[in-house]
């Protein structure tokens, strides 16, 4: 079996980690500012989009998924979408269940 970690020298430099950390900090500050501004119905979708961007950055760089084979990335993406669908199905059950809605 071939040792892929020794062959791949895709580690980030300290400068790159600091840039990624700064970007994540900027997105977090934008989320914080957005939560204090009265955006009405746009607040939740905006926060979900910003959180999704942070999630992708963390998974890609800190979990090194960006440097892995495409198959591993596809498996991760499929599992994530499946978990998201299950979550949305469960939430919709609680939202539209008449016995819970009347409480």
Location of structure tokens 């997105």: 27
What is the C-alpha separation between 28 and 54, in angstroms, rounded? 8
Average pLDDT, the chain: 83
Residue ranges of domains in the chain: 1-68, 69-103
Confirm whether pTM is higher than 0.75: no
The predicted-structure confidence for 46-77, as pLDDT tens digits, reads as follows: 998 999 899 888 888 888 777 788 888 888 88
pLDDT digits (tens, 9 = 90+) for 14-47: 999 999 999 999 999 999 999 999 888 899 889 9
Q: Residue 24's pLDDT is what?
A: 95
């Amino acid at each position: 079996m071939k040792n892929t970690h020794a062959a791949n020298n895709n580690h980030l430099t300290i400068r790159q980690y600091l840039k990624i950390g700064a970007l994540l900090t900027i997105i977090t500050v934008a989320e914080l500012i957005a939560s204090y501004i009265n955006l009405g119905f746009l607040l939740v979708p905006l926060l979900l989009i910003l959180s999704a961007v942070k999630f992708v950055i963390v998974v890609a760089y800190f979990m090194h998924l960006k440097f892995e084979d495409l198959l591993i990335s596809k498996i991760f993406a499929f599992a994530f979408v499946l978990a998201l669908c299950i979550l949305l199905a469960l939430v919709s059950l609680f939202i539209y269940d008449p016995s819970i809605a009347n409480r």
